[in-house]
A and B are shown apart, each in its own frame.
Chain A
Amino acid sequence: MLMNLCATQVHFAYDRLEVLRGVDLAITPGITAIVGPNAAGKSTLLRCLCGLLRPKGKVQLDQRDIRHIPRNELAETVSYLPQHPGIPAALTVFETVLLGRVQRLAWHVAAPDLAAVESLLGEFGISSLGNRRVNELSGGQAQLVFLAQALACNPAVLLLDEPNAGLDFHHQFEMCACIRERTRARGLSTAMIMHDLNLAARVADVVQVLVDGRIRCGGPPECVLTEELLAEVYGIEAHVAQGHDGHLLVTPVGLRRHTLASGNPVGVR
C-alpha cells in the first residue's frame, strides 16, 4: 500500500520559541533522510508528521488531513520510533514488539498477532531473544526490537528519529539494511533523521536538509550533499567525492575559518 505523507507550510512553536517556520515536505515511497544541524527542528518535524504535535499548516496523508484521521487509525498507518524510546524495566522483547499492535490486542492474544511478531523477530535475527527483558539487551539489539515494534502493525509510513544513534558500525549497517529491505519489500514511505551523511548517502533515495526550521533543499543525495552546502549548513569544510562503489563519500576536514572568526556558527541558535 503506497502512501504519501505531505507537509505544507508547517509552523510549530514551543511556547514562544519558534522551531518550524514553514516546512514543505513530501515523504514518498522509498527512504527519505532528514539531515541538518542540531536544533534545526528535525525531531519536532517528525513529531508533527506523526500527529503527536499539532502544528499550524497542513499535514496530509494521501490528501487526508491527519487531524481528521482517528488516532488509532493514524497509529496503524504511520509508525513513529522516538529517538529515546522508554525502556520498560519488566517487559520482554516479545511483549515489547507485541505492543506495536496494541490497537488490535484483546485479553487473548490472537494467532495473527503472534505470527506477526514471530516473523519480524525472525527477519531481524533476534528470535532467540524473545523472552529476554529489553533492559538487559545491548543498545543495538534494543534498537532492533523497537524497529520491529514500529513495523509490527504493518504501517504504510515509517518515521524514525535517529535509529542509528549510539550504534557501532556493524549495527548501523545492520539497522539500515533492515530498514531498506522492509521499505522496498512493503513499499513503505520511510523518513529517518540521520547525522551520518555517508550513511544517508548510502541508504536514502532522497535527502532533505532542514535548517533553522525550514527545508533548505532536497533531492537525490549526490545533488544535495555538496561541499558548498555543507559549508553553509554545518559551517565545515568537507571533501565530497564518489567512492569505489558509486556512493558519495563525505570527509569532514575542519571548521570553516570565517565561521570560527565570527563566533556565530551557522545553524546554532
Chain B
Amino acid sequence: MSETSLQCRPMIATDGYCRRQRQRLLLVGVALALVLMAFLANVMVGPVFLSPHVVCNALFAPDRVLALDKTVIWTFRLPTSVFALLIGLALGVSGAEMQTILDNPLASPYTLGIASAASFGAALAIVCGGSAALQAFGLAATSISAFFFAMIASLLLWGLSRIKRGASDVVILCGVAILFFFNAALALLQYISSESQSQAIVFWMFGSLQGVTWPKIAILAGVLLLALPILATQVWKLTALRLGDDHARSLGVDVHRLRLRTLLLTSLLTATAVCFAGAIGFIGLVAPHLARMLVGEEQRCFLPMSGLLGAFLLLLASVASQVVIPGSIFPIGSATAAIGIPFFLVLVLRKRGRCS
C-alpha cells in the first residue's frame, strides 16, 4: 500500500472510533450531571425540606439565607452529601478495578471479605468498648478498628496472591475464605456481646452516612486523591488485562505487579470507605456492571463512569432512605440493597437474554 493511497483514503475506522469516544464522554457527562442533581436532592431532603433556591444560595451566597438554614446545610446536610458522594465514588472505583484485575464479575469489596473484616473490626471495638486502650481513641475507635481489620484482610489477600503470583482464581477463593472466616468470627462476637452491644453492631452493619465530620471527609478525599491519579496512569495496562494474563504479558504488561499494586490501592479505598460508612452493600458490585454496559471496558471511560454511578446510586439511596419514612432515616445499607438488588437482577437477566 503506497503512502499516497493511505493519505487519500478516508479514515473510516479512526473516525468511527472518535465518534464512539465522543458518545462515551457524553454519557460520562450525563452521569456527572445526574450525580450533581442527586447531590442537590440529597441536600434538599431531610426532616425539613429546603428548596433548590435556598440550597444554592446557602452554597454560593450565604448572606442571602436564614442563619438556621445555613447551619442546617453547612453543618449537617452538606457533609453528609459530600460524604455519600465520596463513599460511592470510592466503592464504584474499587469495585471496577477489583473486577478488572481479578477478571471476575463477582469480585467486589463484599464478596472478597474486606467489608466482613471491617464489620468484625467494628464489632470488636464495640464489644471491647469499655477497655481503657480503646477509650483513649474515643469515638474513632470503631472506625480505626474497622479500617485495621479491613486492611488486614486486604493484606492477607495481597500476600496470598503474591505467593501464587497473582493468579486471579486463587485470590477470589482466598477472598471467599476470608469472608466466611470473618462472618463466623462476627457471629461469635454477637453471641458473647450484651444486648446493647449487639444492637450497636447491627446498627453499624446497616451502614450509615450520619455523624460524619469534615476530618473524615478530608481523609477519604485524601485517599481518593492518592489512588485515582495512580490508577489513571495505568488505564491502558488495566484494559489490556481483559485479553487474559498471558496475552497481556506478551504485550509487555507486568501483570503480577499491576495486579498487586491495584489490589493494594483498591483495598485502601475500600477499607477507608467501609470503616467510616459501615457495610453499604451492592455499590461496588452494581456500579461497574452498569458502567460496562454503558461505555464498555476501555478504562478511560469505564473507571470514571463506574465511580460516578457508584456516587449516583449511593446519593439516590440516601435520598430514598430519608423520604421513605418522613422525619426518620431508613438504614442506608437497606436502601442501597433495595435499589441495588432489583437493578442488578434486571441487568443480569437482560445480559443473559441477549447472549442466548
Please give the residue numbers on chain A whose beta carbons come within 8 Å of chain B beta carbons, in ascending order: 47, 50, 52, 71-76, 79-80, 82, 85-86, 88-96, 99-100, 102-103, 105-107, 114-115, 117-119, 121-123, 127-128, 130-131, 133
> How near does chain B come to A44, taking the closest CB pair, in angstroms?
12
Chain B contact residues: over half helix, strand or loop, or mixed?
helix
The 9 closest A-B pairs by CB, nearest first: A75-B252, A86-B244, A130-B13, A88-B242, A90-B297, A80-B250, A72-B252, A105-B236, A94-B17
- B-chain residues with CB within 8 Å of residue A94 when the two chains form the complex: 13-14, 16-17, 20
CB pair A99–B250 under 8 Å, yes or no, is no
A127–B251 CB distance below 8 A = no
B254 located at the interface, meaning its Cβ lies under 8 Å from any Cβ of chain A in the complex: yes
Binds A, one of B4-12, B76-84, B90-98, B183-191: B4-12
Q: Which B residues are CB-close (under 8 A) to A119?
A: 1, 6
- Given A99-B236, A99-B239, is A127 in contact with B13 using a C-beta cutoff of 8 Å? yes
Cα–Cα, bound, A187→B82 (Å): 59
Kindly identify which residue among A52, A88, A115 contacts B249, using a CB–CB cutoff of 8 Å: A52
Report whether A128 and B12 are in contact in the complex, using a CB–CB cutoff of 8 Å. Answer: yes
B250 touches A114 (CB 8 A): no
A123–B297 contact, CB under 8 A?
no
List chain A residues, Cβ under 8 A from B232: 107
Chain A proximity of B236: nearest CB distance (Å): 4
Interface flag for B169 (CB, 8 Å): no
Interface residues on B, range: 20 to 34
- Residue B261 at the chain A interface, CB threshold 8 Å: no
A117 touches B14 (CB 8 A): yes
Q: Does B300 touch A at the CB level, under 8 Å?
A: yes
On whether the beta carbons of A131 and B253 are closer than 8 Å, the reply is no
Q: Choose among A72, A85, A91, A122 the residue that contacts B6 (Cβ–Cβ < 8 A).
A: A122
| Binary interface encoding of chain B residues 288-326 relative to chain A, with 1 for a CB under 8 A from any of its CBs, else 0 | 000010001110100000000000000000000000000
Given A117-B14, A118-B14, answer yes or no on A71-B236 (Cβ-Cβ < 8 Å): no
In the complex, which of the residues B1, B243, B252 contacts A86, with contact meaning CB atoms closer than 8 Å? B243
Given known pairs A75-B251, A100-B251, the reply for A117 and B13 (CB within 8 Å) is yes
Chain A residues lying within 8 Å of B242, measured Cβ to Cβ, are 86, 88-91
CB 8 Å contact bits of B176-201 with A (1 = contact, 0 = none): 00000000000000000000000000
Shortest A48–chain B CB gap in Å is 12
| Residue among B13, B236, B237 making CB contact with A118, cutoff 8 Å | B13
Judge if B45 is at the interface, Cβ distance under 8 Å.
Answer: no
What are the residues of chain A within 8 A of B297 when measuring CB–CB?
88-91
- A–B pairs, 10, beta carbons within 8 Å: A52-B246, A52-B249, A82-B247, A86-B247, A95-B298, A102-B252, A114-B17, A119-B1, A122-B9, A123-B1
The answer for the CA separation of A75 and B232 in the assembled complex, in Å, is 22
In the complex, the answer to whether A82 meets B246 with C-beta atoms within 8 Å is yes
Complex Cα spacing A80 to B250, Å = 6
